[in-house]
Structure 1
Amino acid sequence: MGNVYLLVIDGLGVGAQEDAGQYGDEDTNTLAHVCETTGCRLPNFQTLGLGNIIDLSSVPANADPLAATGKMREISSGKDSTTGHWELVGIQLEHPFPTYPDGFPDEVTKRFCKGIGVEGLLCNRPISGTTAIDEYGEEHLHTGNPIVYTSADSVFQVAAHTDKVSLDQLYEWCRFARKHVMTGKHGIWRVIARPFQGSSGNFERISEDRRDFSLSPPEENLVYRLNESGIKTYAIGKVIDLFAGRGFTQYRKTRANAEGLSQMLSLMSAAEDSFVFANLIDTDQIYGHRLDPEGYARCLQEIDRAIPAMASKIKEDDLLIITSDHGNDPTVTSTDHSREFVPLLVFPKENAVAESLGKRATFSDVACTVAKFFNMEQNYPGIPFI
C-alpha cells in the first residue's frame, strides 16, 4: 500500500484563526512574523510551495510547487499540543482542558503533597519554567518541596533539582499526580516533569530529561484503528507522550530536531505499509516559548536542509504530509501557544485532489486522508484531500 509520513513542525502557525480573539491571539502569525523579523530563507520549503500558503517576505510563492498546498483550521477548543495532535487523528474536543490562572486549588495541592509525602509545595501559579526555578530553586534545595507551576495551557508542571530529587522519584511524583490527582474535573492534558541542575543564580532546566504524562486519548482515533487493521504505526519525538504511550507499534523518543530528522530518514529507508507520525519540537519548546525569532528561523532552516533527503526517499506509492499543531509566535509578548491556522504541504502533489487545497475546515482532514490512503473506513469528521 505504501507509507504515510505525517511530520508536525511544532508551533508553526500561519496566521490567526477567525476565533483567535477569544484567545488573545488576533495579531499572531508565527511564520510570517519570523520571516519578516529575520529575513529567513527556506529554499527547499519554497520549492515545495510554502510561500504559496500565505505571503511571506523571505519565501516567495512558487509557480510550480512540488507539493499541494493549503492551511488547516483547528476546530477543537484549545491551542495546546495534545488538542492539535488529537484532532489530526480525528478526535475533536468540544470543551478545552481545564486551566488554572490562579494556581491549583487546595484540594489538588493537599492531595498531591500527601500522596508523595512532602510538607508542602512551592510557587503554585502560572509562570515560566525558567523564572520558577530562578525564584524557588534555592528554597527547594533547602526544603526538598517540589516547585509546582502552570501556564496558560492545561499543565501541571513539577520541577525538582537532580541533586535533591532523583529523576526516578520526580517521574514517580508525576505519575502519582497523573493517576490520582489530576483526574475528573481536574483532568488536565499533561503532567510534566521538569528536572533542573546547577547552583543558585545559575539554575538550568534539563530539557532532554523532561517527561510528559498525558491523558489517554479516546480509543476511536486513527492511530488505534490503523493498529487494529494491521498497519504498522511509528511515533517519533514527543508524539508517544501526547498519546499516553498507546496505539503505536514502535516509538522513538528524541532529544532535539536533528535526532528527530535522523530517525525519520532512517524509518523512510525501512518502512513498509506503515504510518509514521513525527513531531519536531524545537521550534516550539526552545524558541517559540522563549520569544527567540532568530533561533526559530535557524530551526526552520535546519528542517529545510533535510527536505531534499526526505523527498528522495518518497516512493511512488508513499505520501508525505507536513503540517503543525498550533502557533507559537516568538515576536509577540506572550510566551504561550497561539490560536492559528497551520500549514499543509502534501507531497507528491499528484496524489492530492488539487494543487491548491485551500482552507481546510479541520485538522481531522488528515485522519480522513490517511484512512482513505490505507483503504479504511473514513468515519472521522473531515474530508480527505487525496
Structure 2
Amino acid sequence: MKRVFILVLDSLGIGYTKDSHLFYDEGSNTLNHIAEFCYKEKANFGRRGSLFIPNLTSLGLGLAAEAASGHFPLGLNKNTKIIANYGYASPISFGKDTISGHWEIAGVPVLYDWHYFKDKKYSFPNKILNEIVNINSLSGYLGNCHSSGTSIISDLGEDHIKTKKPIFYTSSDSVFQIACHEDYFGLDSLYSLCKVSRNIFNKSKYNVARVIARPFSGQNNKNYIRNSMNRKDFSVKPHDITVMKKLLIEKQGQVVGIGKISDIYNNYGITYSVKADGICDIFNKTINEIKIAPNNSIVFANFVDFDSLWGHRRNVAGYARDLEYFDYLLPKILSLIKDNDLLIITSDHGCDPTWIGFNHTRECIPILIYSNRKKNNYLGHSNTFSDIAQTLAYYFNLSDMKYGKNILF
C-alpha cells in the first residue's frame, strides 16, 4: 500500500534565496529569526525560553535550515538523533505567494507574473470596480487599498455594517480580498460576490491569482473576529497537470485536501475537501484522514495559522508558540506511519515575523521526508520545489512530471 501525507507549515521559510534582493528580502529567515528571538528571551509571551521543537529537529529541520542559510537555529539541539530524510529547496516560480509555492510543490511552477495591485491607496482599476458594483447592485464599496485584514476591518467595519458596502483590499500578493460581516451582509452573499468578482477578473487583462472571501463577526471594532473557518479562496485553475491529478487519472487514486488546500488548487486534482481551522483542528482532521487513507492516496494539509495569524502580523511569540504546539502534537502522526507510507513536512514561502512590513519573504523551504524504511539521509539542495512532485511521481509509479527530480529513491 502506497500513501503520502503532506503537511505544509505555511510560511516556515529557512533562509533567504539567492534572488531575494529582487524582492527586498535579502537577510530574511523565518525559522532562524524566530529561534534567535526565543533564545534571547525576546519572545516570552505565552511561552518562555529557547524554541523547543525536538520532534521537528529530529526530522532534520535544524540541519535543513543550516544547509540553506549557513546557520543552525539558536537554541535547537544540534546533537539530536536524525530519524528522517532532510534537505531544502529554492523556488523557481516568479512569485513568493501561496499559490506559486503550492503549485510548484505539486509540479507546476508559476513561470510568469501574476498581476499585482501596487498602488497603496487606490489599488484597483475603476473599470473593474464599477463592473463589480453594477453586476452585484451594490451601493458602493469601502477600502480599495493595501492593508492587513485585521486593520481594515477595525477601521472600516462599522461603516460596512451601516452601509452594507463591502470592504475591498489587497496586499503585495496577487489578491483581491473582500471583507464582509457574516450577519449584516451574509456569508452566502459574500461568496456570491466573490464568485462574480472572480469571473470578472477571469475575463479581464488582469491575471489575479486569488479572490478571497474574508468574513468576520462581532458588533464593533473592539470585538471583530475574522472567521477563518468560513474564509474561501476563489483561485484560478493550475495551468498544467499536478502530481495529484496524475494520481487520480493514472492510478484512480484519492487526494484529500485539508484546510485551504482545495481552494489553492481550485479543487483541481482533489477528490474531496475537509474544512478545518486552527492548528489543533487541522491536526486532528489530518489524523482522521490518515487512519482511513486507502492505497494510492495523498492526504494534503495546510497549517495556515503560522502565516495568517503570526507571520503577517509580525508576532514572533505567537509563531513560536504554535510551532511548539505543532511539534508537541507531531508524534501522534509519526505513530501512524506504516512501512510504505511517506510523511512530507515542508512549506510554501517565508513570512519572517521579524522582517519589515507584513508581507511574505522570499525564502528556501525545508523538505523533511519521514519513512519507516528510508531515513537519516541528507537530500541536498533542490533547485525547485517541484522535486517533491517528481519524487511522488516516482513513488506512485506515475508518468514523469515536467519539472523536478526524484530526490529520495
Q: TM-score normalised to the size of structure 1?
A: 0.96
Work out the CA distance in 2 between the residues paired with 1:379 and 1:147: 41
Q: How does 1:149-228 map to 2 (within 5 A)?
A: 149-202=169-222, 203-228=224-249
Report the RMSD for the aligned CA atoms in angstroms.
Answer: 1.6
Q: Hey, what does 1:288 align to over in structure 2?
A: 311
1:69 aligns with 2:86: yes
Tell me, in whole angstroms, the C-alpha distance in 2 between the residues paired with 1:96 and 1:58.
39
C-alpha distance after superposition, 1:112-150 (max 9, x if no partner): 111111132111011111221222222222222111010
User: Quick one: which amino acid aligns to residue 383 of structure 2?
Assistant: A
Matches of 1:259 and 1:201, distance apart in 2: 27
Per the alignment, residue 380 of structure 1 pairs with: 402
Name the amino acid aligned to 1:341: C
Partner of 2:165: 145
Q: Say whether residues 1:57 and 2:74 are aligned partners.
A: yes
Report the residue type matching 1:82 in the other structure: I
Return the alpha-carbon distance in structure 2 between the equivalents of residues 367 and 66 of structure 1.
22
1:367 is aligned to 2:383: no
The amino acid across from 1:171 in the alignment is Y
TM-superposed CA distance for 1:282, in Å, is: 1.0
- SS of match in other structure, 1:123: strand
Q: Hey, what does 1:319 align to over in structure 2?
A: 342
CA distance in 1 between counterparts of 2:306 and 2:214 reads: 19
Write the distance in 2 (CA, Å) between the matches of 1:305 and 1:241: 28
Q: 2:378 aligns to what?
A: 356
Contact 1:287-1:293 within 8 A present in 2 as well:
yes
State the alpha-carbon separation in 2 of the partners of residues 213 and 191 from structure 1.
5
Structure 2 gap ranges (5+): 39-49, 67-71
Quick check: 1:98 aligned with 2:115? yes
Classify the secondary structure of the residue corresponding to 2:25: coil
Change (3 A) 1:211 1:63: closer
Which residue does 1:46 correspond to in 2?
57
1:62, distance to aligned residue in structure 2 (A): 4.1
Gaps of 5+ in 1: none
Task: Indicate yes or no: 2:320 matched with 1:303.
Answer: no
**Residues 201, 93 of structure 1: alpha-carbon distance in 2 compared, 3 angstrom cutoff:** closer
Aligned to 1:263: 285
8 A contact 1:52–1:62 mirrored in 2: no
Secondary structure at the counterpart of residue 343 of structure 1? strand
Q: Distance in 1 between matches of 2:114 and 2:311?
A: 21
Alpha-carbon distance between aligned partners in 1 of 2:391 and 2:129, rounded to the nearest angstrom: 43
Deviation at 1:183, TM superposition (A): 4.1
Contact 1:187 1:215 in 2 (8 A): no
How big is each residue's C-alpha offset from its partner over 1:312-352, in whole Å with a ceiling of 9 and x where there is no partner? 11111111111000001111222111110001111127536
The one-letter amino acid paired with 1:328 is C
Which position in structure 1 is the counterpart of 2:106? 89
Q: Which residue of structure 2 aligns with residue 136 of structure 1?
A: 156
Kept after mapping to 1: 8 A contact 2:229/2:275? no
TM-score, length-normalised on structure 2? 0.91
- The answer to whether the aligner puts 1:338 opposite 2:358 as a matched pair is no
